[in-house]
């Protein structure tokens, strides 16, 4: 935990007083009205067993649960004794309910190619893939790493794993060779599913080449299943590599979904924490299924006829919960788009909305801010009248961007839901419900069912209205992470020890008198760059791995578009010159382009206490070009600060 000044960021938000009422037609036909929300929320806290039994009972179980919750802090077991299958609930159940011919996935590639899979077709594909994985030797409980572009096969592969009880671990296609190798090794995956290449801004991203290189330092890997996406002639290693289409063609298209224990792990998803090593957040079958099912339906007010588009890549938790599992569990039609938002131009998203008649759009503030910069005329060229609901996720949305989204994209008709949650929470935790609650731009809003948030001091004292403090959750919820894969001690330490007996989210927040929670940002050494979570320590270890660097300290700096950007203070190895361009390329290679420092400051010393601790608070101030504030007397050499402030940035 670092000494992050929660109150620094609050200022501009404190002055935000606008309240936007939900549109009348939305209120009139809301899935959940204000009164229903109050009543359901109350019940979810007072009678959690009854509440969650009803929700879980809407889904199919092969064996009913005996108890709703076993809670032995910090370990929760939900729907204990129950057996189910998430893929069965997303596919077979919907086909049986008459949605066989309904479009499940509508995919568009960057070049405009469109592919559609109905629920019946998706079920067949997933069944084939499940049979193919089984034929490759994948068994229940085995980990399978996915390193794929945003193509339908990504969803098919996830669901196929879920169908047989294999635990998927999706690694975002933008991560580097070594990031991929580390994640395969940590999970001890035997199988990697990748593609020859992905497409981004008109060029190919050579995933297979990265996978081949990663495989050299990932000894657990036995097989590679390769989707032919770009047909770009990649080499295949005999005995190890298998083409996806060949394996699926050889497999039968019927498969009986495995009956899995409710607590059987569904997936791992690696995310950054306060230390250098990413953590494998582990989610389970029953609770995650119930949580994503309920939140998708209520937060997005989902209807049979909706075309729902969450722009997140499946490499992130948003892509798991709200591009794949949540919407498919609800039988929705999901749009998937592989390319960049600005290729060939900044109208691309709006053209997709117009063409596919998207009615629900869920995207990130960083995207909204970059669209906003291009001006109103760009979206103005498209027919956005199909939209009826907008969502935001991933980082705090500044009120100006919120208003722009609401006014220009939503035409003042569409409620905007600002949803706060995390990789660890599995599903949306704080939001307004679109037909129930007024919005306060910049504030996520109220707790979802079963979620009991509080704002606390470090000492665990609960704070009152408008006081800035630490966001915690006071009781377990179904879609919460169960552990950090292979490191339960880290699970305890990161989430359940910072403040006793509550889940520590790592965010600073405040709550107003109406109960609306405004999340201000991370209070640990985690950055949020364009909605992507990065650990400062990870970037620091990448930097010091470069021969020209002896020491490094990384901090975030507020950025108009990215929300936060990466600033690196580096000390050169004696007798060495630091070449900023080479250092940036090095970080891209080590982690991925998303971690590349925006600014590098070559320093002769870092501000350290006498015990050697780097005072990042001062570095954050210097990085932001602000005057240094606070007690500098604990520093070994306070003059370092002046020298740093006078050092040019490259
Ligand atoms: C962190 C979690 C949630 C899925 C995508 C990110 C920040 C997320 C909001 C929001 C303010 C937000 C928090 C959180 N965050 N949503 N609506 N308002 N901050 O998942 O990579 O696990 O990051 O993103 O700081 O802790 P993640």
Minimal-distance CA residue to ligand 1 atom 1: 422
CA of 381 to the centre of ligand 1 (A): 31
pLDDT tens by residue, 150-174: 999 999 999 999 999 999 999 999 9
> Is 54 a known ligand-binding residue?
no
Mean pLDDT of all residues in 565-588: 95
Q: How far apart are CA 176 and CA 534, in angstroms?
A: 14
What is the token pair recorded at 579? 């070449």
Minimal-distance CA residue to ligand 1 atom 11: 396
User: pLDDT value at position 11?
Assistant: 46
Shortest CA distance to 364 belongs to which of 399, 393, 389? 393
Q: How far apart are CA 466 and CA 609, in angstroms?
A: 33
- Whether 356 is covered by a domain: the verdict is yes
351 & 419 share domain: yes
Task: Name every residue whose Cβ is closer than 8 Å to that of residue 475 and which is 6 or more positions away in sequence.
Answer: 450, 452
> Is 418 a known ligand-binding residue?
yes
Pocket test for ligand 1, best of 324, 395, 538 (most atoms within 8 A of CB): 395
353 & 225 share domain: no
> Is 342 a known ligand-binding residue?
yes
CA 256 from chain centre, in angstroms, equals 30
Mean pLDDT of all residues in 219-239: 97
User: Number of C-alpha atoms within 13 angstroms, CB side, residue 251?
Assistant: 23
480 & 402 share domain: yes
CA of 331 to the centre of ligand 1 (A): 26
Task: Name every residue whose Cβ is closer than 8 Å to that of residue 436 and which is 6 or more positions away in sequence.
Answer: 22, 27, 30, 32, 33, 34, 36, 37
Q: How far apart are CA 430 and CA 445, in angstroms?
A: 6
Q: How many domains does the chain have?
A: 3
User: pLDDT value at position 322?
Assistant: 98
Q: How does the average pLDDT of the chain come out, rounded? A: 95
Shortest CA distance to 159 belongs to which of 330, 336, 328, 332? 328
For the purposes of burial, counting CB atoms within 10 Å of the CB of 254, is it exposed (0-12), middle (13-18) or buried (19 or more)? exposed
Mean pLDDT of all residues in 476-493: 98
Mean pLDDT of all residues in 74-80: 98
Pocket test for ligand 1, best of 394, 472, 507 (most atoms within 8 A of CB): 394
339 & 487 share domain: yes
Q: Which parts of 420-502 are beta strand (E)?
A: 430-431, 446-447, 453-456, 469-473, 483-484
- Higher pLDDT pick, 16 / 646: 646
User: pLDDT value at position 14?
Assistant: 52
CA of 90 to the centre of ligand 1 (A): 26
Minimal-distance CA residue to ligand 1 atom 5: 394
Contact yes or no for 508/523 (Cβ under 8 A): yes
User: pLDDT value at position 16?
Assistant: 67
CA of 199 to the centre of ligand 1 (A): 27
Domain termination site, one of 225, 240, 258:
258
Hunting for tokens 């959690």 — which residue is that? 48
**608 pLDDT higher than 50:** yes
292 & 357 share domain: yes
> Is 201 a known ligand-binding residue?
yes
- Whether 107 is covered by a domain: the verdict is no
pLDDT tens by residue, 93-146: 999 999 999 999 999 999 999 999 999 999 999 999 999 999 999 999 999 999
> Is 264 a known ligand-binding residue?
no
> Is 637 a known ligand-binding residue?
no
What is the token pair recorded at 309? 């588009």
297 & 374 share domain: yes
- Whether 15 is covered by a domain: the verdict is no
- Whether 315 is covered by a domain: the verdict is yes
CA distances from 485 to 49, 269, 283, 445, 591 (A): 28, 9, 10, 31, 20
Q: How far apart are CA 85 and CA 163, in angstroms?
A: 6
> Is 388 a known ligand-binding residue?
no
Atom of ligand 1 at shortest range from CA of 506: 26
CA of 319 to the centre of ligand 1 (A): 13
**344: preceding bond cis by omega (within 30 degrees):** yes
3-state DSSP call for residue 469? strand
CB atoms within 10 A of CB 560: 13
Q: Strands 103-108 and 83-84: what pairing? A: unpaired
CA of 395 to the centre of ligand 1 (A): 5
131 & 215 share domain: yes
**3 pLDDT higher than 50:** no
Stretch (H or E) spanning 177 = helix 177-187
**563 pLDDT higher than 70:** yes
Q: How far apart are CA 597 and CA 500, in angstroms?
A: 36
31 & 130 share domain: no
Q: How far apart are CA 91 and CA 100, in angstroms?
A: 9
Query: Could you please report the per-residue DSSP string of 203-240?
Result: EEE-HHHHHHHHHHT-TT--EEEEE-SS-------TTT
Atom of ligand 1 at shortest range from CA of 420: 17
Residue 42's domain is classified under what CATH number? 3.40.50.12780
3-state DSSP call for residue 620? helix
Residue 209's domain is classified under what CATH number? 3.40.50.980
- Whether 225 is covered by a domain: the verdict is yes
What percentage of the chain has pLDDT greater than the value 90? 93
> Is 82 a known ligand-binding residue?
no
- Whether 354 is covered by a domain: the verdict is yes
> Is 546 a known ligand-binding residue?
yes
185 & 149 share domain: yes
Shortest CA distance to 535 belongs to which of 491, 486, 590? 590
Stretch (H or E) spanning 417 = strand 416-419
369 & 241 share domain: no
User: pLDDT value at position 540?
Assistant: 95
Atom of ligand 1 at shortest range from CA of 317: 4
Minimal-distance CA residue to ligand 1 atom 2: 422
Mean pLDDT of all residues in 529-553: 94
CA of 106 to the centre of ligand 1 (A): 27
Domain termination site, one of 224, 242, 258:
258
153 & 47 share domain: no
Range of the structural domain that residue 310 is part of: 24-84+266-496
- Whether 91 is covered by a domain: the verdict is no
User: Number of C-alpha atoms within 13 angstroms, CB side, residue 440?
Assistant: 19
CA of 528 to the centre of ligand 1 (A): 8
3-state DSSP call for residue 511? strand
- Whether 515 is covered by a domain: the verdict is no
Minimal-distance CA residue to ligand 1 atom 14: 422
Q: Is the ipTM of this complex over 0.95?
A: yes
User: pLDDT value at position 277?
Assistant: 87
What percentage of the chain has pLDDT greater than the value 70? 98
pTM for this predicted structure? 0.95
CA distances from 577 to 570, 583, 584 (A): 11, 11, 14
CB atoms within 10 A of CB 60: 13
CA of 60 to the centre of ligand 1 (A): 31
CA of 424 to the centre of ligand 1 (A): 10
> Is 549 a known ligand-binding residue?
yes
Minimal-distance CA residue to ligand 1 atom 17: 420
| Band of pLDDT at residue 4, cut at 50, 70 and 90 | very low
318 & 364 share domain: yes
User: pLDDT value at position 274?
Assistant: 82
pLDDT tens by residue, 17-42: 899 999 998 999 999 999 999 999 99
Atom of ligand 1 at shortest range from CA of 521: 25
Lowest mean pLDDT of 10-19, 58-67, 179-188, 371-380, name the range: 10-19
| Band of pLDDT at residue 382, cut at 50, 70 and 90 | very high
> Is 530 a known ligand-binding residue?
yes
CA of 317 to the centre of ligand 1 (A): 10
Atom of ligand 1 at shortest range from CA of 430: 17
pLDDT tens by residue, 386-436: 999 999 999 999 999 999 999 999 999 999 999 999 999 999 999 999 999
Minimal-distance CA residue to ligand 1 atom 8: 394
Residue 545's domain is classified under what CATH number? 3.30.300.30
pLDDT tens by residue, 289-339: 999 999 999 999 999 999 999 999 999 999 999 999 999 999 999 999 999
Shortest CA distance to 140 belongs to which of 163, 158, 156, 164? 164
pLDDT tens by residue, 617-633: 999 999 999 999 999 98
Ligand 1: residues whose CB is within 6 Å?
271, 316-318, 393-396, 418-423, 444, 505-507, 519, 521-522, 528, 533
Domain termination site, one of 238, 258, 278:
258
Contact yes or no for 20/439 (Cβ under 8 A): yes
Torsion of CA 584, 587, 588, 594, to 10 degrees: -90
């Amino acid at each position: 935990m670092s000494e992050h000044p929660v109150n620094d960021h609050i200022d501009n938000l404190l002055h935000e007083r606008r309240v936007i009422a939900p549109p009348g037609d939305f209120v009139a036909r809301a899935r959940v009205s204000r009164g229903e929300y109050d009543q359901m929320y109350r019940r979810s806290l007072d009678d959690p067993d009854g509440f969650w039994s009803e929700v879980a009972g809407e889904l199919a179980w092969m064996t009913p649960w005996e108890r709703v919750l076993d809670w032995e802090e910090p370990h929760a077991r939900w729907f204990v004794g129950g057996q189910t299958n998430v893929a069965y609930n997303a596919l077979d159940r919907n086909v049986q309910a008459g949605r066989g011919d309904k479009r499940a996935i509508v995919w568009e590639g960057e070049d405009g190619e469109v592919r559609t899979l109905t629920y019946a077709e998706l079920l067949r594909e997933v069944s084939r893939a499940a049979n193919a994985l089984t034929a490759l030797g994948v068994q229940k409980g085995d980990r399978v790493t996915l390193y794929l572009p945003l193509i339908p096969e990504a969803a098919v592969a996830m669901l196929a794993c879920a169908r047989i009880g294999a635990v998927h671990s999706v690694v975002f296609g933008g991560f580097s060779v070594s990031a991929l190798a580390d994640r395969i090794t940590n999970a001890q995956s035997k199988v990697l599913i990748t593609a020859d290449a992905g497409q981004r801004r008109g060029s190919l991203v050579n995933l297979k080449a990265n996978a081949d290189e990663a495989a050299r330092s990932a000894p657990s890997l036995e097989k590679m299943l390769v989707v032919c996406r770009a047909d770009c002639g990649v080499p295949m290693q005999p005995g190890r590599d298998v083409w996806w289409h060949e394996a699926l063609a050889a497999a039968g298209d019927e498969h009986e979904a495995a009956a899995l224990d409710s607590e059987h792990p569904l997936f791992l998803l690696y995310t950054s924490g306060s230390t250098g090593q990413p953590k494998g957040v582990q989610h389970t079958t029953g609770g995650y299924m119930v949580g994503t099912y309920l939140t998708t339906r209520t937060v997005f007010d989902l209807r049979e006829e909706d075309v729902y588009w969450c722009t997140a890549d499946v490499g992130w938790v948003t892509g798991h919960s709200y591009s794949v599992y949540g919407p498919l569990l609800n039988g929705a039609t999901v749009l998937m788009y592989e390319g960049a938002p600005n290729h060939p131009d900044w109208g691309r998203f709006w053209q997709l909305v117009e063409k596919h008649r998207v009615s629900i759009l869920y995207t990130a503030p960083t995207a909204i801010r970059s669209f906003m910069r291009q001006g109103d005329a760009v979206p103005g060229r498209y027919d956005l009248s199909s939209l009826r609901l907008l969502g935001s996720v991933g980082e705090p949305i500044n009120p100006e961007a919120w208003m722009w989204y609401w006014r220009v994209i939503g035409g003042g008709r569409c409620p905007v839901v600002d949803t706060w949650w995390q990789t660890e929470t599995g599903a949306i935790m704080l939001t307004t419900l679109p037909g129930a609650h007024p919005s306060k731009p910049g504030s996520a809003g109220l707790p979802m069912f079963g979620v009991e948030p509080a704002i606390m001091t470090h000492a665990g004292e609960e704070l009152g209205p408008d006081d800035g403090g630490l966001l915690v959750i006071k009781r377990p919820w179904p879609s919460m992470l169960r552990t950090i894969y292979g490191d339960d001690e880290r699970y305890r330490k990161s989430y359940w020890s910072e403040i006793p007996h509550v889940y520590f989210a790592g965010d600073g927040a405040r709550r107003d008198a109406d109960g609306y929670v405004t999340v201000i940002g991370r209070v640990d050494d985690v950055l949020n760059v364009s909605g992507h979570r990065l650990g400062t320590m990870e970037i620091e270890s990448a930097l010091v791995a470069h021969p020209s660097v002896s020491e490094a300290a990384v901090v975030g700096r507020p950025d108009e578009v990215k929300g936060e950007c990466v600033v690196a203070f580096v000390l050169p190895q004696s007798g060495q010159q630091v070449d900023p361009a080479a250092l940036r390329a090095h970080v891209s290679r080590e982690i991925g382009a998303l971690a590349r420092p925006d600014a590098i400051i070559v320093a002769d010393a870092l501000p350290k206490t006498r015990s050697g601790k780097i005072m990042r608070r001062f570095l954050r101030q210097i990085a932001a070009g602000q005057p240094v504030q606070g007690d500098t007397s604990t520093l070994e050499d306070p003059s370092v600060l002046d020298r740093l402030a006078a050092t040019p940035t490259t």
